[in-house]
């Protein structure tokens, strides 16, 4: 009987060990892109903006998150730091959107407009942030993204 228990415990150990190895697959970072900016309210000294981010999951398994932190720079000027506690998930090899509210100083917006009028004919962004993963893969997943929202000198 004792021998049977030892074999049973050994079998359970190997099943659990192989299950943990399956969970330990490396997680490829998702691609996060800025897809929209909408006004969300304003006052004399600050503007509230709602950023829409598209998360693309290159992994075969779903990812879920419990929040995110984002910092967006326009034409090398820090402009939109934001955080969100919005929960969400994206299926394996799928896409989902996150809405994040950011606050920006009205003076920073004016400075950006002046730089555009001063000859810089494009609005380029650099974004970096962190998705706070939840569930079995809990932890922080950093991301970066860059692109051009508007370019008056682009060839059509």
- CB neighbours (10 Å) of residue 56? 13
Could you tell me if residue 85 is inside a domain?
yes
pLDDT for the residue numbered 67? 94
pLDDT of the residue at 148:
86
38 within a domain of the structure (yes/no): yes
**Domain span at residue 143?**
27-147
Mean pLDDT in residue range 54-78: 93
Kindly state whether residue 1 falls inside one of the protein's structural domains: no
Tell me the average pLDDT across 12-21.
Answer: 51
**Residue 92 near residue 65, CB atoms below 8 Å:** no
17 is a domain residue = no
List the structure tokens of 23. 């969970």
Domain presence at residue 55? yes
Q: Give dist(CA 59, CA 63) in Å, integer.
A: 8
CATH number of the domain that residue 122 is part of:
2.60.40.10
Confidence of residue 48 (pLDDT cuts 50, 70, 90): very high
Residue 80 lies in a domain: yes
pLDDT digits (tens, 9 = 90+) for 106-121: 999 888 888 777 666 7
Give the tens place of pLDDT for each residue, 132-146.
999 888 899 999 999
- Cβ neighbors of 154 (< 8 A, separation 6 or more) are 122, 148
Counted domains in the chain = 1
- Residue 10, domain member (yes or no): no
152 assigned to some structural domain: no
């Amino acid at each position: 009987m004792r021998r049977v228990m030892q074999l049973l415990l050994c079998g359970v150990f190997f099943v659990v060990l192989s299950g943990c190895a399956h969970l330990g697959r490396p997680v490829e970072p998702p691609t996060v892109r800025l897809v929209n900016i909408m006004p969300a309210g304003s006052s004399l000294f600050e503007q509230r903006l709602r950023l829409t981010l598209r998360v693309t999951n290159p992994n075969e398994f779903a990812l879920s998150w419990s929040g995110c932190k984002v910092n967006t720079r326009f034409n090398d000027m820090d402009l939109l730091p934001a955080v969100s506690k919005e929960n969400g998930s994206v299926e394996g090899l799928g896409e989902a959107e996150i809405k994040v509210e950011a606050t920006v100083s009205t003076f920073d917006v004016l400075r950006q407009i002046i730089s555009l009028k001063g000859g810089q004919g494009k609005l380029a962004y650099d974004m970096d942030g962190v998705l706070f993963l939840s569930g079995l893969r809990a932890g922080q997943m950093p991301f970066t993204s860059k692109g051009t929202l508007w370019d008056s000198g682009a060839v059509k």
